[in-house]
Amino acid sequence: MPQLRIHFTDLDLARTRLKLEMDLMWEIVSSVQLLQHTKEGACFDPWRRRVRDRVSRDSVLRSAVLTLMTVAPHATYFPDFLTPALDTADIDAAVDAVLSAPSARRTREVGRLRPADGAAANWLNELAAGKVPALRHLRQALRVYFRSLIEPKLQTIDGGLQKEWADGAQRYLRAGPEGLLRWFSPAATWEPPILTIDYPLDRDLYLGGRGLVLAPSYFCALHPVALADPRLRPILVFPIAAGTRLLAAGHCDDGNLSALLGATRATILRAVVSGSTTTGLSKLVGVAPATISHHTGVLRAAGLITTHRHERAATHTITPLGLRVLTSSPVGAEKSLGAAGGRG
């Protein structure tokens, strides 16, 4: 079977990390490819059926889906510029990053696609050339697709990713970066200094001191995926566990967490999964920094977050216990909070 071999140095191992933010463009691209095959049916068949039903009744959505299937086919290659290195939860910012790819890069990457359909080939040629109508068409397709098919499922996606983040963070705390490399995928084998992964084609990726970002994805289904261009930031997007996907819908009701902690503290706990400052939380929640400090003090005393201060800024980060509370059932969360209170 073909394999991807990722070569590490000691510096690469030290710089390997788990991405703790949802990547909107990877979810979009992965879901578009998922619509083009029938594998992983137990998890995704209901979603595919809903998409087919909506597409049959909505010509604008149908055009968006066909456009994205053209530029992101289910194949051994799709353009890297569709998944820019950007941490944002805003679809407009993500789309802007896609469209702002350098023209030479867009031309090169789109040029590797070989559609059989004449109309699709003509549009890709115009996209590669940076024609304004083609770029606008791609922008519209990405926005319509996201608003119609991804945004309504964001809560479920986030629920699955939070469980994966919690598992990965605990593995990292127990066993360091090598623990992550042994945990993230059954398709991967870590034999220092090489990570070997079952892959659609044979290739070698030399990290060269840049480290590796491991990014769990809800819609990534068949195997981990790396960028085609080895010069770009090394990232490996991998499927979350199938069982986690199936359970995510049952654990994404924020009402349970809000009832347990209060709405403001529940929002804060979710926001600090990837770290946040007091000022950032104040803007997110819409209350004064002094009020945020009160709530973070309560969460810190319960062992759910930690706070690190540098000069005048305080950065808050969730703890493994906080992650367990965030991703557990209401009963499990109550037990965790009880234990935290006992230790306080």
| Residue burial 111-125, b: 16+ Cβ < 10 Å; e: rest | eebeeeeeebeebbe
DSSP classification of residue 296: H
Q: What is the pLDDT of residue 103?
A: 95
Query: H or E element: which one contains 264?
Result: helix 263-271
> Which region among 212-216, 241-245, 329-333 has the lowest average model confidence (pLDDT)?
329-333
Residue 206, pLDDT score: 98
Cα 96–98–104 angle (5° rounding)?
A: 120
Please, what is the average pLDDT of the chain?
87
pLDDT at 321: 80
Residue 224 pLDDT: 95
Amino acid at 285: V
Is residue 243 classed as helix, strand or coil in its secondary structure? helix
Rounded percentage of the chain residues whose pLDDT exceeds 90: 62
Query: Tokens 């896609």 sit at which residue?
Result: 98
| pLDDT tens track for 142-177 | 999 999 999 999 988 988 898 888 889 888 988 999
10 Å Cβ neighbour count for 48?
A: 16
CA 184 distance to own-chain centroid: 14
Q: What are phi and psi of 92, to 5 degrees?
A: -65, -40
In this prediction, residue 135 carries a pLDDT of: 97
Enter the pTM of the model: 0.74
The DSSP secondary-structure symbol of 209 reads: T
Cα(31)–Cα(52) distance, integer angstroms: 13
- φ/ψ (deg, to 5) at 206: -100, 120
Q: According to the model, what pLDDT value does residue 343 have? A: 32
pLDDT tens track for 61-99: 999 999 999 999 988 899 999 999 887 778 999 999 999
Confidence of residue 284 (pLDDT cuts 50, 70, 90): confident
The span from the CA of 120 to the CA of 239, in Å, is 29
Q: Sheet harboring 3-7: ordered strands across?
A: 188-191, 194-198, 3-7, 203-206
Domain limits of the chain?
3-20+155-248, 24-153, 253-343
CATH of 253-343, picked from 2.40.110.10, 1.10.10.10, 3.40.1110.10, 3.10.20.30, is 1.10.10.10
Confidence of residue 318 (pLDDT cuts 50, 70, 90): confident
